[in-house]
Structure 1
Amino acid sequence: MTHDDEGGFEQLPPNDIEAEACALGAAMLSPDAAGQVAEMLRVDDFFRPAHQIIFRALLATYGRGEPVNPVTVRAELPRQADGPEHVPDGMYLHRLVEQVPMVNAVGSYITQVRNVAKLRGLAVAGPRITQLAYASAAADADDAADIANKLLDEATATSTPSVARSVADMAMPFMESLEAGGDQRGVASGWTDLGRLVPRFRPGQLITIAARPGVGKSVAMACIAHYVGVKLGLPVFVGTLEMSTDEFMARLVSHDAKVNLKHLLEPELLTEDDWERLARSLDRLQSAKTLVIDDTPAMGIPHVRASLRQMRRTGSPAALTVIDYLQLMESPKKVESRQVEVSQYSRGFKLLAKEFEVPIIVGSQLNRDVERRADKKPILADLRESGSVEQDSDIVIMLNRDDVYDPESPRAGEIDMYVEKNRNGPKGLATLAFQGHYSRIDDMAARDNWTPHGVVS
């Protein structure tokens, strides 16, 4: 406790000077401890100013590859302090070393320093959030909540090293990655035919799946969500603005159990075979504990960001995010045009994909121009209210089915997936089997030595 000017008491922010001292002392006794302290703590995690200066000196010494001990750290102190009067006493370094109970307990010292630093961050963030709430207008509530969440994230953040790395550091890991088969991060669509064009949806990518209403945009996204969330068992966030959670769930069950969707929507039509299929499906679906479906009305990017934060905090960061679909999102703020609003969302989702290192798939409608053409093949210019959708997307997949326009088409039951933009791969066309009554899209019959037709590098 410290006395204030009026003779009362003012509570100090949360701190643990002893844990700070033990962490620094252990770092100067053991190379392993020095590495843990340097990589897991930040300057702001230390409350005592002298400890911040010592930690900066420790970081500089460790970063040069020199041994970390009281002698080398002391030599670095003058370069890390703001002035000679702030340089800690060299004897203090030796006292830090002498008071360490157990060097191999450095992990517990680090944990305690970080935990107290989080509490200290919350103590600082609290008044700032309160001030933000009073200063914001009601119409800006979502933005204020988003800023408040960021303040809380900053307050409770763990140490994050800089993402900037030299080419020299990355050259060997890159070559080793090639030898091991390349970068395997990301998730596949589940379709072999499309996978020949787009092997994986990678972290940070924005993928747009576009089609006219009724072609199969929602079915395609539900299929991918099912493959990643149920078959692979990875965390998936699905934001569905077009359907309710129950409606989306019906399609997911129809897909998984191969039960006619009409039977699920009208249960009196369910047959004995349907019930047997549903019973087998139940076990698979009950294991999908991290496949999350959200049908919040007027869902915006702040809501999606908050949901992804929540998944990350609970230890299940999303491996995939699916939003169905872009044009149904609305902003509480007035914008000059609908095109500008949709463009803001596409850019926002691209930034969100990079922020959370997750591929984000968004559905998008095509305009009616495609229906006026004889071949009905969609092109990028058909993106409705496109604005920056094409620019922001790393991959654009456009869907078409001949039998939507001609029920007697010889290609009934087929769906074309045109990869019209592919930042890291070829463009081309993959044709799959469309089973709308099961809410399914599957690969066509197995074919040997098959390559996607219409491939453009």
Structure 2
Amino acid sequence: MSIAEPPVFEPGFERTPPNNIEAEQSVLGGMLLSKDAIADVVEVLRADDFYRPAHQLIYDIITDLYGRGDPADAVTIFGELQKRGEVARVGGAAYLHTLTAVVPTAANAGYYARIVREQAILRRLIEAGTRIVSFGYGGQDEEVDDLVDRAQAEIYKVTERRTSEDYVPLAEIMPGALDELEAIGGRSGQMVGVPTGFQDLDSLTNGLHPGQMIVVAARPAIGKALALDTPLPTPDGWTTMGEVSRGDRLIGADGRPTRVVAVTDVLRDRPCYEVEFSDGTVIVADALHQWRTTVDHALVVHGGPARQSVVTTEEIARTLHRAEDGWPVHAVAVTAPFDLPERDLPLPPYELGLTLGGTGFPGRRVPGAYLRASTGQRRALLAGLLEGRDGQIRFAATEGPLAGDVLELALSLGHRATMRDTGDHHVIDLPEVSVRYVVDVRAVPSVPVRCVEVDNADHMYLAGRACVPTHNSTLGLDFARSAAIRHGMTTVVFSLEMSRNEITMRLLSAEAKVALHAMRSGTMTDDDWAKLARRMGEVAEAPLFIDDSPNMSMMEIRAKCRRLKQRNDLRFVIIDYLQLMSSPKKTESRQNEVSEISRSIKLLAKELEVPVIAISQLNRGPEQRTDKRPMVSDLRESGSIEQDADMVILLHREDAYERESPRAGEADLIVAKHRNGPTATVTVAFQGHYSRFVDMASH
């Protein structure tokens, strides 16, 4: 070195930070000797990667001259330093000549640049660690989740490539904007952003662009609902589908309490059916309500084991019985015993059972606390009730209310109990079977229906007095198929509604053109299997990631997206759907909570420079209008969704409201907001049996 500079001690360091002065000198010397070396280095380094301020200044001048097309050597650099009055700061002309003298060879400049960058990353890591420590000591007044999110952001910024400046003068922005315009012009109209798979929509938007938040909205499920008077068991008793609200607790198919994270509005004018089971239970559901049934392949096709699948009411109706003997095809498993905490009860359950099981106590009932006690307490109660029955697994009572309580008790313990009236007694039978069959599905006049979303992993909850396990709740998937399968762009789908297996089945159905109901009901033909085999390899190799973790927060989604960006070059994010997300913060209202989530999604898109699609629900506004067409103002729960979104696409299917519509099989993608272009309506074909939307031309 020809000049002596004092050591640089940056804030947050207790000792000299990691650096390699010789590597920095070799990088700059190589750039002064070779234009090719400059091209290699600028892809790896930026000015603030250099440890010494003098080296940062020299690097800035070299890249400035190179960008203008001027030669960058010791003479031209010295002249530029004189113009700026910075010669003394770098040590004069002698130091510039030293740089060219110390470099072993300009051909290795790229390798030296990587050494410099590694040292810069280590320094930033130390700085980030110091800031994170200060968050921990000084964050007593902040939410812990916010502090964790800030800490993750600090680590992410250590290796991200963008400049860390908060603001840039317009004069510096202009060249980059002009370069982008020239690049777009040079593509001759070729698409720039992530393709949606719909030609007219891509022509309108030129693809989905990095940093954009795109909202795709429709009425909920255009299905999946039960009648409002359907009883729903809870950890403390009963509620109904019409009364349940967000935050309430129901019972899952595994017997454990599960929280309601979303509820739909009351839906009207839906095709409805009575679903009758082999134990006499009848539940009214709409055509698209989902059930998890065990389908015996031997009853439907030749050979194959029994398996579980999620099917709609309509699909059950189409494959209800075996043709040759009318035997039921679909069976629904009996619930697991309710897993509830032990209660402090006034009388031991067994003694109460002995008392109620005797005679001479008219008007007696099983208290509600005993019916929702722990499994052990309820078993003791049932044992007392059955005591002295000569080994018979049945209970008889002259009074209907007491018999109803005993039936509820048996069902809560996982028995497929049934009750029959013999004329003078109500008899509860406890057969040793673990399933109930669907024996009939009958169309009935439409009634108001509603659906809920629960936060357990299998999306199941119990419905009806018999505690039947039932399921809660595709345009976003079509976008994902286009990006990941057709164009090889890394895509992640965060699904808070469907499980990963359901999504995979829908993707396979759409790609292989195999009817979804055939896949779910086990009625696939040899030709269907051949179609599936042809497409399965390409689908499996697609860079598509699926996360079906229930009740995800934006902090979790951000952390996972950052990891995917670093490891897999993430290009596209889909969140399904926005109203099911929750915030760990305490907010005044659900509207404020959704507003905060919406802002976080927009910030995620900008931070990672990827388009983010947020699937959203519309309120009941379209159903109350004559033409049923949705508008941006129909977005549920918060107007901030509309404000934050760069694009709002509203999905409208006329045949969802009018069965005899001349536009059956068509869907309108209404681009109701487009911050960077015109609005329009794009018509596509809806192939419900393949669970997909396609271009009208290809249709």
Which bin holds the TM-score, normalised by the shorter protein? 0.7 to 0.9
Higher strand share: 2
Distance across 2 between alignment mates of 1:361 and 1:195? 15
Higher helix share: 1
Deviation at 1:124, TM superposition (A): 2.8
Whether contact under 8 Å (1:434, 1:441) holds in the other structure is yes
Deviation at 1:300, TM superposition (A): 3.0
Whether contact under 8 Å (1:370, 1:377) holds in the other structure is yes
Partner of residue 367 from structure 1, selected from 601, 607, 619: 619
Partner of residue 655 from structure 2, selected from 403, 418, 423: 403
* 1:414 and 2:417 are equivalent in the alignment: no
Distance across 1 between alignment mates of 2:561 and 2:541? 20
Match of 2:643 in 1: 391
The AA in structure 2 aligned to 1:271 is T
* 1:243 and 2:498 are equivalent in the alignment: yes
Deviation at 1:322, TM superposition (A): 1.1
**1:309-388 correspondence runs (5 A):** 309-314=562-567, 316-388=568-640
Match of 1:453 in 2: none
**1:53-202 correspondence runs (5 A):** 53-56=57-60, 58=62, 67-74=71-78, 87-88=90-91, 90-136=93-139, 140-158=143-161, 160=163, 165=172, 167=174, 171=178, 174-175=181-182, 177-178=184-185, 180-182=187-189, 184-195=191-202, 197-202=204-209
Match of 1:234 in 2: 489
Match of 1:29 in 2: 33
- Return 5+ residue gaps in structure 1 as ranges: 4-9, 448-457
* 1:272 and 2:526 are equivalent in the alignment: yes
User: What TM-score, normalized to structure 2?
Assistant: 0.56
SS state of the match for residue 265, structure 1?
helix
Deviation at 1:291, TM superposition (A): 0.8
Q: Which has the larger radius of gyration?
A: 2
SS state of the match for residue 33, structure 2?
coil
Moved more, 162-171 or 39-48: 162-171
Per-residue CA deviations over 1:254-279 (Å, capped at 9, x if unaligned) read: 2122223234334x433333322222
Taking structure 1 as reference, are residues 220 and 172 closer, same or farther at Cα in structure 2, changes over 3 Å only? closer
The AA in structure 2 aligned to 1:207 is I
Deviation at 1:32, TM superposition (A): 3.7
Alignment root-mean-square deviation, CA: 3.4
Distance across 1 between alignment mates of 2:525 and 2:109? 63
Match of 1:455 in 2: none
Per-residue CA deviations over 1:237-291 (Å, capped at 9, x if unaligned) read: 111111121222221122122223234334x433333322222221121221x11
The AA in structure 2 aligned to 1:367 is N
* 1:219 and 2:474 are equivalent in the alignment: yes
Distance across 1 between alignment mates of 2:514 and 2:658? 26
SS state of the match for residue 293, structure 1?
strand
Q: How many residues align?
A: 435
Per-residue CA deviations over 1:356-412 (Å, capped at 9, x if unaligned) read: 222221111111122122221111221112312222222222122233333344433
The AA in structure 2 aligned to 1:245 is R
Distance across 2 between alignment mates of 1:129 and 1:45? 21
Deviation at 1:52, TM superposition (A): 4.0
- Return 5+ residue gaps in structure 2 as ranges: 1-5, 8-13, 224-472
Match of 1:205 in 2: 212
* 1:257 and 2:512 are equivalent in the alignment: yes
Deviation at 1:110, TM superposition (A): 0.8
Per-residue CA deviations over 1:43-79 (Å, capped at 9, x if unaligned) read: 4322345534544555566677654333444566588
Distance across 1 between alignment mates of 2:57 and 2:512? 62
Whether contact under 8 Å (1:395, 1:419) holds in the other structure is yes
Whether contact under 8 Å (1:397, 1:419) holds in the other structure is yes
Distance across 2 between alignment mates of 1:21 and 1:285? 50
Match of 1:282 in 2: 536
Distance across 2 between alignment mates of 1:26 and 1:159? 25
Whether contact under 8 Å (1:24, 1:37) holds in the other structure is no
Distance across 2 between alignment mates of 1:55 and 1:196? 42
SS state of the match for residue 228, structure 1?
helix
The AA in structure 1 aligned to 2:574 is V
Distance across 1 between alignment mates of 2:204 and 2:190? 16
Taking structure 1 as reference, are residues 428 and 82 closer, same or farther at Cα in structure 2, changes over 3 Å only? closer
Distance across 2 between alignment mates of 1:224 and 1:275? 25
The AA in structure 1 aligned to 2:482 is Y
Deviation at 1:195, TM superposition (A): 4.2
Per-residue CA deviations over 1:311-356 (Å, capped at 9, x if unaligned) read: 2222x32332211111111111012222222222223322322332
Partner of residue 427 from structure 1, selected from 670, 674, 679: 679
Whether contact under 8 Å (2:191, 2:202) holds in the other structure is no
